[in-house]
Structure 1
């Protein structure tokens, strides 16, 4: 369960612009308390550290852009590569 909560919170912090960072942390911690009260402090600490390091984590090079777009939009890497080849990096 711990990994699932961390994945959910991390995805919200890094990829969902419509959810503020503090709300992502708060809701993830609140949900984790329903299942395991002991891990809520750990989850809170990890997610808050991710917020502080967000710029470093999201510093993506040209080579990583396929992987980033693949994760963000849940498409296979080969589809993203195909679209970049057809439409260009700026369009994607």
Structure 2
């Protein structure tokens, strides 16, 4: 049986020449970092989507209220003979 520290691994991308144990440890660390970053990005994207959904609801609610006000403003303007400019 050969110990992992006795096996030399050629450089891989940005990993220097090292023994198998250290190389595998470095690869594991990079993979864990990448997975954590992907999980964090997904969490942030979900939070942003939730905020966008909430904002969309607020905008729709506001648009409905503005439409309601415009309708009544135009009705009152008709009663008093005022022409409301086009929107």
**Normalised by the shorter chain, which TM-score bucket?**
under 0.3
The structure whose RCO (Cα within 8 Å, separation 6+) is larger is: 1
TM-score (norm 1): 0.25
Which structure has the larger Rg?
2
Structure richer in strand, relative to its length: 2
